Structure formats: C-alpha cells, structure tokens
Structure 1
Amino acid sequence: MRAFIFPGQGSQTVGMGQALSAASAVAREVFQEVDEALGQHLSRLMAEGPAEELMLTENAQPAIMANAIATLRVLEREGGIRLADKAEFVAGHSLGEYTALCAAGALGLAETARLLRIRGQAMQAAVPVGEGAMAALLGLDFEAARQIAADAAEGEVCEAANDNAPGQVVVSGSKAAVERAVELAKVRGGKRAMLLPVSAPFHCSLMEPAARAMEKALAGADLRAPLVPVYANVTAAPVADAATIRTLLVEQVTGTVRWRESVEAMAAAGVAEFIEFGGKVLGPMVKRIAPDATPTSIVTMDDIEALSKAL
C-alpha cells in the first residue's frame, strides 16, 4: 500500500519550483492559477525571492502547497498517473493537510491557495510579534515533552504543537513559557532543546483567533469528499467525510499535529511506501517512525520520471 504525503512550513526556499516550471507547461499552469487566485506574482517570489518575503507565513503556506501540487500534477498529466489508482491514503503536515486535500480532489487549487493565504494571515495576526515562540525538544518521548510544556506554562500557554517523530517534539506558546520549557528539557534528559526561528506560536491555544477565522473561511469553501481518505493531523486517523474534514481543519489550527501517530497508523494499516511531493522534510521523519517503510521524495523532473516508471 502507498500514501502520498505533503510537507509543511519550513520547506520553502528561494528557487523552489523554478526548474520544474522551466521544464513543464503543466507546472507553469499550476503556478499561474495560484498567482491569479491570490492576485499576486507568488511564482516570481518563489523563484527569485527575497527570502525574507517568501518566509512570511502568508506567502510560505500557499507557495509550499503550489510547489507540491505542481510536482504531483506533472506526474499525473505527463506520466498518465491517477492518484486514486496509485495511493490508498493522503496526508500532510500542518498546512500540508490542505495540499493533501487538494491533491485528492477535495479542494480546488485556487480555493486551496486562498484558504492558505487566509490561514497564514490569521495565524500571523493572532499573536503580536515577539510575544510567542516555538521550540524543538529532542531526545524526549511525547509524554515527557508534553509534561515539560505543562510544567513550564506557569499560568501562561505552553503546549505540545508537533509530535513529529520519536524524540522530536515541538512545543509552542508564550515566549517566556517556551523558554522555560527549553531549560526544563535540558535538565530532564533531553538531548537538545532550542528555540525555532518562527514568526508565531503555531498549533497552540494562542491561535484561537486564527481558528475562528478559518472556521468562517471554511464554512464558505467548496469542500468535497476526497478521492482517497486523508489522515487528519488532529486525530491521526483517516477521514473521507467533507463535513468532518471541515471541522478537523478548524481544530487543527490550535491542535497538536500528530504526525508520528499518523505515520504509525498508516504503517499499521499496511502502507509500506510513503511518497513526499515537493519536499525532503517528511521522508526522514517517516523512516524514524516506521523503519521498514520506504520513503521517497519527489522534487525534480528526474524524480518525477523515475517515479512514473516505478508506479
């Protein structure tokens, strides 16, 4: 069995999609449709930078999605591949869940781009710059990291935001509380703990205003049942009902990204092959979570051609 998976924020880089766009009219169509949906030359920003502007959450989220969907569309159109014939499930990390839904036909490309623009703006606006933080706690299991976050809160917000892989948990919340969590992790057996260079404290209760913004945006979105089930971040379980997906996407803004559990569940369901489109971030995580699985990253035209022959 096979799952198609899609990366989250942090996989953006200046030059992303440029070679693919030069090589394929299909990729250029994807980037053009996203540009038109946003009323912005996002593809130029992706290709040329500046990096500081591309890293802004409201730009990074649709850019990462567009790059991943372009990669998939080239495979589908030029390789004659149908996702529903080649993958039993789709999944994505944080914003990648929207990409997964787009890939599986639950959301149109233009609508996905607009939703991610709203999501990025709302998440950035939810907490004034400098008041929130996120930190990676390495070498601790999820329960230990969650307890450290709870103990570090001291009346402020500090919560487990991303359960990425064994020994890799990200906490999020008020800056002082997250800084306390970093220090606590060091004395409670963590191998390493460090603040992350992010612009807002994602996936914690401080994002509640962003959740309300997404509830409103998703209420008016044309969201259909996906061609194959999507593993939801907040439940680590497959879902194929549009109304449920809508609810879970709202919960996802403040909820923990349960990526480790999602991969474990897919592997337990029989998935042996995980194909990541548009990034090289999730593959190493998959290998740590499910050592017997085979992860593949698809980024270049050569990657796409090799996968087309292999499927």
Structure 2
Amino acid sequence: MRAFIFPGQGSQAVGMGKALADASPVARAVFEEVDDSLGRKLFALMSEGPADDLLLTENAQPAIMTNAIATLRVMEQEGGIRLADKADFVAGHSLGEYTALCAAGALGLATTARLLRLRGRAMQAAVPVGKGAMAALLGADLAKAQAIAAAAVAAVLEDTGETLVCTVANDNDPSQVVLSGHRPAIERAIALAKDMDAKRAVLLPVSAPFHCPLMQPAADAMEAALAEADLRAPLIPVYCNVDAVAIADPDQVRAALVRQVTGMVRWRESVLAMAGAGTDRFVEFGGKVLAPMVKRISPDVAATSVVTMDDIGEMLKTL
C-alpha cells in the first residue's frame, strides 16, 4: 500500500517550482491558476524572492501547497496516472493537510490557495509579534517534551505568578518534538531542556506560536471560512493531524482542520497508523522533509521525495 504525503511550513525556498515550470506546461498552469485565484504574482515571489517576503506565513503556506500540487499534477498528467489509482491514503504536515485534501479532490486548487492565505494571515494576527515563540527539542520524545513543557510553565508561574502557555505543537518523530507558546515559557523550556535529558533545544525562526491555544482567534477565522468553502469527500481517505486517523466525511474534515490550528500535529502517530494499516511506501511531493521523518518513525517502510522532473521520471517507473 502507498501513501502520498505533503510537507508543511519550513520547506519554502526562493527558486521553488521554477525548474518545474520551465520544463512543464502542466506545472505552469498550476502556478498561473493560483496567481489568478489570489490576484497576485505568487509564483514570481516563489521564483525570485525576496526571501523575507516568501517567509511570511500568508505567502509561504500557499506557495508550499502550490509547489507540491504542481509536482503531483505533472506526474499525473504527463505519466497518465490518477492519484486515486496509485495511492491508498494521503496526509500532510500542518498546512500540508490542505495540500493532501486538494490532491485527493476534496478542495479545488483556487479554494485551497485562498484558504491557506487566510490561514496564514489569521495565524500571524492571532498573537502580537514577539509575544510567542516555538522551539525544537532534539533527542526528546513526546513524553519527555511534555515534561519539559510542564516544568517550564511551573517555573514561570513560581517566578512571576503568571500562567503562560507552553505545549507540544508538533510530534514529528521519535527524536524531534516542537514546543509552542508564550516566549518567556518557551525560553524557560529551552533552558531546562538539557538538564531534563534532551540532546538539544533550538529556538525556531518563526513569526508566531503555531499549533497551541494562543491560536484560537485563527481557529475561529478558519471555522468561518471552512463553513463556506466547497469541500467534498476526498477520493481516498486523508489521515488528519489532530487525531492521526483516516477520515473522509466532509464535516469531519472541516472540524479536524479547525482543531488543527490550536492542536498538536500528531505526525509520528499518523505515520505509525498508516504503516499499521498496511502502508509500506510513502511518497513525499514538493519537499524533502517528511520522507526522512517517516524513515525515523518506521524504518522498515520505503520513503521517497519527489521534487524535480528527474524525480518524477524515476517515480513513474515504479508506480
């Protein structure tokens, strides 16, 4: 069995998609459709930068999605295949869940781009710049990360009397967990991490504390937008981040996407669940972040990244 998977924020880079667009009219059509839907030249920003503008959440989220969908569509149309015939499941990391839904026909491309632009803006606006932060804990599993987060909250409360947020945002793989919350609590977690047996703790260069309760205003905005969106049942089940289970009912999908904004991305559990359901091959489109994570989570499965035209050609030989 096979799962097609799609990356989240952090996989953006200036130049993304350019070689694909130069080589394939199918890819160019995807980039043009998104530009038209957003009323701006997103592909020019992806191709030429500046990097600081591409890094902005409202730009990075639709850009990453568009690049992944362009890669998938080139493979489908030039290879004469259909996702529903070649994949048993789809899944994506954070914003990648929207990409997965678009790939599986639940959301149109233009709708997905507009939803992700709104999601990016709402997440950025939910917390004033500088008030929140995120940190990656390396060499820490979920239980250890939760203990570090709890200790950080307790330490700040004892020192200042304030109850701040510090919680697990992403359970990525057995050796990498991300914390999110108020900056003082995250900084305390970084200070505590080594003494609590984490190998390393790194403050992430992000503009907001994603996937934590501080994102509730963004969740409210997405609930309103998704209620109006044309969202259909996906052609194949999608493993949702917040529950790590396969869903296909549109109402369930909407609810999961809303809860995802403030909830933990359960990527490790999602991969284990797909592997447990019989998936022995994972194919990542438009990035090279998730495939290595998959191998760390489930070493016995095959995991491949498809980014370039050469990658597409090699993948078509095996489908």
Report the Cα distance in structure 2 between the residues aligned to 1:50 and 1:120, rounded to whole angstroms.
18
For 1:132, the equivalent position in structure 2 comes to 132
Matched, 1:306 2:288: no
Q: In the aligned structure 1, how far is the partner of 2:276 from the partner of 2:267?
A: 14
Structure 1 residue identity aligned to 2:173: A
Measured against aligned partners, the alpha-carbon deviations of 1:198-233 in whole angstroms (never above 9, x if no partner) come to: 010000000000000000010000000000000000
SS of alignment partner, residue 317 of structure 2 = helix
Cα distance in structure 2, aligned partners of 1:269 and 1:183: 39
Answering whether residue 307 of structure 2 is matched by residue 292 of structure 1, we say no
Name the aligned partner's letter for residue 53 of structure 2.
Answer: E
Q: Secondary structure at the match of 2:125?
A: helix
Q: Quick one: distance in 2 between partners of 1:19 and 1:234?
A: 34
Shift of 1:286: 0.3
Equivalents in 1 of 2:141, 2:307: separation in Å? Answer: 31
**Does residue 293 of structure 2 align to residue 282 of structure 1?**
no
Q: In 1, distance between residues paired with 2:35 and 2:50?
A: 17
Question: Residue 265 of structure 1: which of 257, 270, 273 is its match?
Answer: 273
- 1:121 paired to 2:129: no
Deviation at 1:151, TM superposition (A): 2.1
Letter in 2 for 1:50: P
**Paired residue for 1:72?**
72
Looking at structure 1, the residues matched to 190 and 244 of structure 2 have their Cα atoms a distance apart, in angstroms, of: 26
Identify the residue that residue 172 of structure 2 maps to in structure 1: 164
Match of 2:246 among 206, 231, 238: 238
| DSSP 3-state at the match of 1:67 | helix
Residue identity in the other structure for 1:16: M
Residues 171-182 of structure 1 mapped to structure 2, 5 A cutoff: 171-182=179-190
AA of the residue aligned to 2:225: A
- What TM-score do the two structures reach when normalised by structure 2? 0.97
- Unmatched tracts of structure 1, length 5 or more: none
Aligned equivalents of 2:300, 2:177: Cα separation in 1 = 22
Distance 1:232 1:158 in 2: 23
Give per-residue Cα distances to partners, 1:128-153, cap 9 Å, x unaligned. Answer: 11110000011111011012112212
The runs of at least 4 consecutive aligned structure 1 residues that moved more than 3 Å come to none
| RMSD, aligned α-carbons | 0.6
**Deviation of 1:167 (Å):** 1.7
Paired position in structure 2 for 1:43: 43
Alignment partner of 1:310: what SS? coil
Distance 1:187 1:13 in 2: 35
Gaps of 5+ in 2: 158-162
Equivalent residues in 2 for 1:11-30, closer than 5 Å: 11-30=11-30
Q: For residue 151 of structure 1, what is the aligned residue in structure 2? A: 151
Equivalent residue pairs, number? 311
Q: Secondary structure at the match of 1:172?
A: strand
Q: Which amino acid aligns with 1:271?
A: T
Find the aligned partners of 2:114 and 2:149 in 1 and give their Cα distance: 33
Q: Which residue of 1 aligns with 2:222?
A: 214
CA distance, structure 1, for counterparts of residue 4 and residue 298 of structure 2: 15
| Percent identity between the two aligned chains | 72
Question: Per-residue CA shift, 1:235-272, capped at 9, x if unaligned?
Answer: 00100100000000000000000000000111111101
